[in-house]
Chain A
Amino acid sequence: MSEQVKDAILLASMPKALNGKEFTYCPGCHHGIVHRLVAELIDEFGLREKTLLVAPVGCSVFAYEFFDVDGTVAPHGRALAVATGMKRAKPEMFVLTYQGDGDLAAIGTAETIHAANRGERVTTVFINNAVYGMTGGQMAPTTLLGMKTTTSPYGRDPKREGYPIHMMEIMRALPGVAYAERVKVSRPQDVPKAKMAIKKAFYAQLLDVGFGIVEVLSTCPTNWGMDPVEASRWLEENMVKEFPLGVYVDKVTEVMKEKGVK
């Protein structure tokens, strides 16, 4: 141990729930930030031995390789059906899905709405970067109007391509949802707030309240054609207007108070 370290207290380091494998994400991609928050929470709740992670098809298709928990990868869009199957078969497990916007809100819309509607005791982390990242930047259900992507080269036109889909607003209409919040992680101040949101989504499952989901507005520097810092600014200037941040459903906080947990 160096001289410096002996005189110091460790404040923050790689969570145990991450196995140390280098992330395969692009430089500056917010996936890494969110992975770390999820791992911190798995550590804090002591969930390593109970967690089942369902990775999606998308950039995070390898997510299970980075976490020191059991996991699988679902067919595109189907993570919430896979999670339902796992949780119904083994209710004592902690089931977590981690999905992108194409996965959760295009091909998987039915599975998402129905798992939420059934109030499945599973937790979903939903990364919304308004494009299909892995496949090279095609239009996604959450692509903004006017936004140019590789399959909307003229800019998204509502007459032709419809409107961006607002999943948290939809979650509000489903009684089975116990927690739904939209956050971002583009500034350091946002990060603890995002972590608290994900923590409450964890509690939705752990305290048996219902379905928990957090939508994280995220950058995709590579497919947006910007550097990571530019991309964060772009997100703040453009995505937040379209996808308002905030809590959309919260049946968890009062249960947390009742049970005396933070």
Chain B
Amino acid sequence: MAKRTLGFIEIDQERCKGCGLCIDACPVNVIKFSEEFNSKGYHPAEYIGEGCIACQFCYYMCPDVCITVYKYKTPALSK
């Protein structure tokens, strides 16, 4: 099924404390915990790369202001 990707997010993974609130908030489940550790020892949040609907819920919930949200001028469709 084609996934709509209306935007994308950038996560400052060094700033992230791995709290998981963005992952819980994302309505399209496009954020996950990274396998890697950051230098604080957390598994930071990571955008899977597609499917973001630019709803900003992750930005709303991030208590460390790690996330920047962009909306594509023209939405992308991907498999």
Using a CB–CB cutoff of 8 Å, the interface residues on chain A facing chain B are 4-5, 7-15, 18, 22-23, 25-33, 36, 185, 187-188, 191-192, 221, 227-229, 232
Contact = CB atoms under 8 A, between A and B. Distances in A.
Contacts of B54: 11
A32 B70 contact: no
A232 B59 CA distance: 16
Contacts of A4: 8, 70
Contacts of B69: 10-13
Given A9-B73, A11-B71, A13-B69, A188 B25 contact: yes
Contacts of B74: 7
B56 A30 contact: no
B63 A30 contact: yes
A14 B42 CA distance: 21
Contacts of B56: 11-12, 188
Contacts of A228: 19-21
B18 interface: yes
Interface string B21-64: 10011000000000000000010000000000011110111111
Nearest to A25: B63
Nearest to B8: A4
Interface residues of B, number: 30
Contacts of A28: 17, 19-21, 63
A163 to B, nearest CB: 30
Nearest to B42: A27
A191 B8 CA distance: 20
Contact of A32 (B8, B64, B72): B64
B20 A10 contact: no
Interface of B: 7-8, 15, 17-21, 24-25, 42, 54-57, 59-65, 67-74
17 contacts: A4-B70, A8-B70, A9-B70, A10-B68, A10-B69, A11-B7, A12-B59, A13-B69, A22-B64, A26-B17, A32-B64, A188-B57, A188-B60, A191-B61, A228-B19, A229-B20, A229-B21
A31 B59 contact: no
Nearest to B72: A8
Contacts of A191: 60-61
A32 B21 CA distance: 12
Nearest to B24: A229
B8 A8 contact: yes
Contacts of B57: 188
Residue of B24, B54, B62, B68 contacting most chain A CB atoms (<10 Å): B24
Contacts of A33: 60-63
Contacts of A25: 63-64
Contact of B67 (A8, A12, A27, A29): A12
A227 B69 CA distance: 25
B25 A187 contact: yes
A229 B69 CA distance: 22
Contacts of A30: 63
A221 B19 CA distance: 10
A30 B68 CA distance: 18
Nearest to B68: A13
